[in-house]
Each structure stands twice: as structure tokens, then as C-alpha cells.
Structure 1
Amino acid sequence: MTSTRSLFASALLVVQAIATPTWLRNDDATAVAASVNDVATLGYASVAGGTTGGKGGQVVQVSTYEQLAAAASGNEPKIIVITGPIMAEAKTRVGSNKSFIGKNSRAELIGNGFSIVKSKNVIIRNLKISKVTAKNGDAVTVQASTHVWADHLDLSSDREHGKDFYDGLFDVTHGSDYVTLSNSHLHDHYKASLVGHSEKAAEEDTGHLHITYANNYWTNIGSRTPSLRFGTAHIFNSLFSNVTDGINARDGAQVLVQGNVFVGMAKPLYSVDKKGFAVASNNRVLGQGAVGGGESKAASLPSPGKLSSVPYKFDLMSVDQVQMSNPTRAGNTLTF
């Protein structure tokens, strides 16, 4: 009988036993111009009616937490442009049909993030969000919500505190659906991105939790890059560096993993608890093997999956392109 490990040996990862390279984020990279009226054109957020956010609604500029919280409420279409740093120990509750836009690289939320609960049609772009403590949730929380596009974000905390001092950077739970996280830099954090909050939530989550992770840059992360229960995820064109535990497919999750680069990781793609499923191709690992080490629970490779295509068009870059471009392209690098 062919083992799960051997089934993945040829298709999963191209392992290159060479010295681990170092990439430096270039914060002075030329910013890319974008429009506040942009809509989701990538990933699951672009299908089943799409994600338009506040397009066509009032455009307001905010520079304080009070202004941000007021603008975020209600369900009328609105484009909210954040013009500078906002520091507050709080969470911003988000209504439906909203676009949150960081005007430039100075737009930053410190200690406060977005709570998208029972809402739909939300866009968040070009923002730096940092140091949201666990009592205030995640940098971005998506619960019981549909059609969310998070793009060109810089999400972080620190790893000087214990792993539970902060919660997640981008967590998608409670039957949420049609979500895309793209062109973002997730870094300096323990538990980055959880999809599916509990093994007991099969009834709520099965058939939902469709999520795309595209063109992202993950650095200095402990785990959950992402961790998925029950959902359906497409993870492509992403660079993972100095990450302890990689993509964790569990509790029946189906994952398609394409065109990613994993640097110095013992477990780029693995499964714990009840098995998840994966199809993987055109990925590269630099320095470490495909499985083992780094987590208290016994880990193994996911079982061969059935997710081999997605209902949207996308461009798969070469792994060389991913290595070179993601460190400078991912994050809050847009201007409006």
C-alpha cells in the first residue's frame, strides 16, 4: 500500500537543501496607485455576487477612533478613508457595505482592529494594524459574515509577550464565506490566521468557509498560517519565512496549495487531530523537510484532497517571482 507520505513526495514540495536566504522588506518601495472604488477581482471574495464594499456611497475621511467607529456603523454604503495613525484600545464594529481605505503608508491602527460580525460586503485595504490585545479580539475578525476582501494589509503584534496575550491577525469563523486575504504582510505574531473556531462546529461551518490567501508574505510567525477546520482554502503565490508551523489542514478541510515558497520550515503543510485534505503543486521548500517538529501534537501530512480547481481566474507566478517580489509588494504599499 502506498503511504500518505509517499503520495505527496513528488507533488507536494520541491525541496532545495541550500542555505536559507534573507529577504528584507523594502518600506521605501514605490507605492502603487489604486482607487477607493476598486472591487474584489481575486479569490473567493470575487464570486457569488462579488464584493464591492462601499462603492457608490459617501466618501468620508477619519483621523480619530471616534470618527472611525461612527463611520463603520450601519449598513449604508460608505467609503471610509483613514488619513493617519489611530491609537485606541478597542475594536471597531463593522456594518455591511463598507470600504476601509488607508490613504497612504501613514494610515495605521494601533491597539484596535476590525470586528466584522454578521455583516456582508466589506473591503479593507492598505492599512497597518498592530498590537490588538486578546481582550479586543483580532486585528481582523470575520464571524458569520460573507464577502470580505482584505488586501494590502500589514498585520502584526510582537513575540515578546506570551502566545495568548494577543489573539489572531486574521480569523474567519462561525460559517463565514467568500473571503480573500491578498497582498498582505503578516508578521511577528504567534497565532496568525484561524479558519473554523472549533472541532464541534461542523454543522455551522461545513459547506462554508471558502477563503483565498493570495500573494501574501508571512514572517516570524508561530503557527496558523493558516489553520483550517472544515473550510475550503486556496493558498497560492505566497512566501513563508521563519515560520514554525505552516498550513494546518484539519477536521476535513480541503486545501489547494500552489506556487508557494517555504523557507526554513519543518512543517510547511501538515495535519493534526482529525485529518484534513490537500492538493499541492509547484511549491518550493528551502532548507527543511516536509514534515515534523515544532508542535506538541503529533503531525503528519494531510490526506490527498479533491480540491484541484477554483471558480475564478488567477495568475500563478513562478516560485522565483514569489521569492523576489512578495517582500516588497505585500503590505500597505498602495496610495489613493
Structure 2
Amino acid sequence: MTRSVAWRLSAVVAALAVATSTGVVVGVSPASAAAGVATGYAAANGGTTGGQGGVTVRANTGTKIHEALCRRASTSTPIIIEVEGTINHANTAKVSGDSCETAAGVIELKRISNVTIIGVGSGAVFDQLGIHIRESRNIVIRNVTIRNVKKSGSPTSNGGDAIGMEKNVRNVWVDHVNLLASGGESEGYDGLFDMKDNTQYVTLSYSTLRNSGRGGLIGSSESDLSNGFVTYHHNLYENIDSRAPLLRGGTAHMYNNHYVSLNESGINSRAGAKAKVDNNYFKNSKDVLGTFYTDAVGYWHVSGNIFDNVTWSSPGSETRPAGPDVKSTTTVSVPYSYALDQTSCVPTIVSRTAGANKGLLESNGSC
């Protein structure tokens, strides 16, 4: 598919509020973009539109975010919550209501649907405070920074996950966010982007994940195989020890991501998982693709990737790297259209577009 065709299709799809393709976007205001056009697997299963069509409210504390959720007419009433400022433990209290189930010290999206949270103005920072999505569907999170969420030490939030999804979650689009920690498990942190217990149809796009021992996972154990249908595109993974991501069962599609300094392992496909890995740029990293730390193997379908100064371990009973001669071990088809950027351009494109406060810019296909 050419870029011009992809753009025309996305314009039509946006008008229909059903996302199937990515196009060229040049600086739009966060408020007008709050409805957005979800891409990848988040566009499947009926699509992900968040709070599109609902009222728009402004929040500068976690308590006000919870109040906005609790004041809805029902748990499914669409709402767009524009967030500006620093959200932390001191300003995030539990709020009660018929349309919410909140808790102090975490942004709780529990048993609800049709919600958009988007950073506006000078930006939104969730400081040591995670976002927990549980038994919910049709959730959009855009243009925010979430940093230093801990599972041990003080203060703690969301089990140490920056964004954590669990138990029958459907259709989540996370876009143009910064997720970062200041170390690994020994420093009190867990994952940046985790999915567990039957979480499906998720897309992470145009985001940065940095300085963490664990980038994220699909499936909490080798027996938690009910998760999947996840797309990762145009993201930066930098200074991550492992789990970029870890897949236990399910299907995931990674395209046009930039991976820098994956210190121990990268895409870890295990327990029958299938990873479609297209036009990604891996640099200064180790064991960026394979099955690691288990004898329960997974599979991969590769094309167009660049491995720049990547080293590989020797194979063993619990170490099955895809390289140095990287070849597909399965075939994966996805149910949506997408336009691949030239792999050599990925570092430049991701640097220009990924993360919060970038004007929600997307790739135009050029370096």
C-alpha cells in the first residue's frame, strides 16, 4: 500500500469512526485529536474510539480524573478527560459513585468503558502513579508521561506497572506516551506496559519506553495464555534489560520500532506465542529476538529488520536466539492494513514522532 492511498483510506475511515489504516498527521491540537484514529489490533474487534462523542472535562489532579469518571450517567457513558499538570499520590484520592470503582494512589479504570485520557496544554505527568485498567473496554490514553511507578519501596502504585491491564480487557489504544522507570526490580520497579488475564486487541503506538528492567509483557505466566492481538508500532525502546516485550501465547505485531540498548533480551516469544516482526531497527543490543529463560518455545515471522551491532547468545535448553541468521519460524497474518516505513529511516522517524508533547505527529514515510 502506498502512503497516499493509506492517507485517503484513513481519512474515510476516520469519518466513519472505524480505524483501519495509518496516515500522515501534522500537528493537531490534542483536544481535536482526542477522538483519534486507532491503528493495528486496537482497530479490530469493533474498533477503539474511547470517549468520542462524549463530554470533555479538564482535570489537573488524580482526584478530578476520578470525579469525572464517577459523575458520568453510567459506567459506559463516553467521556474525554483532558489532563494538564502533575498527577501524584498527594492529589489522587478515592472517589465513590455508581459509574466508577476508584482507589487512592492509582488511576483506576475498573469495570468501565468508553473513556479517553489525553494530555493537553503544558503536558500531563503521572509521577510515581500508574494507570490500572481492569475488566474494561474501549479505552484511549494519549499524550501523557508516566514515570517511576513502584511495586516496592515508597510510594507504591499499580503493582509497579506504568500501565497495567488485566482481566477481560478489550480494545485499548495507547498512543504518544512516555513510559519510564529509573531501574529494575531491585530498585522497586516492574513493567512499563503489561497485559494479563484475557487482555486482547491493544495497540501501543508512537511511544517511548526507557530505563527499565522490564519493558512489558503479554501473559503473567506460562499458563496465562488468554492474551494477545497486540500491535506495537513506531515506538522507542531504550535502555531496557528485557521484555521488549515478553509474549506468553497469543499473537503480536511489531513494526517500525526502534530498539536501542536492549541489555539482556528483547522480543521474547514463549509458550507458543507468534510474533510478526517487520521493518524494525535494532541497535547496540543483545538477543533481540527469540525464546529466552524457558524451554516453552515461541515463534516469529520476520521481514525487513536491521540488526546493527546486535550480539547473540549460544543456543541452549532455555536459550533459543533467533540470530545471528534470523529466519522466520512461522507465518502470521494480520487483519488490518498498514504502511511500512523504510527500515533505515526508522530511527529518524521515531525520534521525530514518538512520545508525549510531540504534537501527536505521525510518520509521513520520509527520513
Same fold (TM over 0.5): yes
Question: What are the superposed Cα offsets for residues 14-35 of structure 1, whole Å, 9 maximum, x if unpaired?
Answer: xxxxxxxxxxxxxxxx955442
Q: Is the 8 A contact 2:202 2:230 kept in 1?
A: yes
Q: Give percent identity, aligned residues only.
A: 32
Matched, 1:53 2:50: yes
Matching residue within 94, 109, 120 for 1:103 = 120
Matching residue within 220, 229, 233 for 1:210 = 229
Change (3 A) 1:304 1:163: farther
Aligned to 2:164: 141
1:154-193 mapped onto 2 (5 Å cutoff): 154-159=178-183, 162-163=185-186, 165-193=188-216
Change (3 A) 1:37 1:65: closer
1:111-260 mapped onto 2 (5 Å cutoff): 111-134=128-151, 135-137=156-158, 138-143=161-166, 144-159=168-183, 162-163=185-186, 165-202=188-225, 205=226, 208-244=227-263, 245-260=265-280
Task: Report the alpha carbon displacement of residue 106 of structure 1 after superposing the two structures with TM.
Answer: 2.3
Task: Report the alpha carbon displacement of residue 107 of structure 1 after superposing the two structures with TM.
Answer: 1.2
Change (3 A) 1:37 1:128: closer
RMSD of aligned residue pairs (Cα, Å) = 2.3
Aligned to 1:323: 347
Q: What is the one-letter code of the residue matched to 2:207? A: S
Matched, 1:278 2:300: yes
Task: Report the alpha carbon displacement of residue 167 of structure 1 after superposing the two structures with TM.
Answer: 1.4
**Aligned partners of 1:328 and 1:296: how far apart in 2?**
41
Q: Is the 8 A contact 2:145 2:356 kept in 1?
A: yes
Change (3 A) 1:335 1:103: farther
**Aligned partners of 1:127 and 1:209: how far apart in 2?**
24
Aligned to 2:289: 269
What 5-or-longer segments of structure 1 have no aligned partner?
Answer: 1-29
Q: Is the 8 A contact 1:54 1:77 kept in 2?
A: yes
More RCO (CA 8 Å, sep 6+) = 1
Which TM-score applies when normalising by structure 2?
A: 0.77
Q: Is the 8 A contact 1:147 1:178 kept in 2?
A: yes
**Aligned partners of 1:148 and 1:270: how far apart in 2?**
26
Q: Give the total of aligned pairs.
A: 300
Q: Is the 8 A contact 2:196 2:224 kept in 1?
A: no
**Aligned partners of 1:195 and 1:266: how far apart in 2?**
21
Indicate the SS of the match to 2:349. helix
Matching residue within 313, 321, 328 for 1:292 = 313
**Aligned partners of 2:123 and 2:224: how far apart in 1?**
39
What 5-or-longer segments of structure 2 have no aligned partner?
Answer: 1-25, 91-104, 361-367
Q: Is the 8 A contact 1:253 1:277 kept in 2?
A: yes
**Aligned partners of 1:104 and 1:228: how far apart in 2?**
36
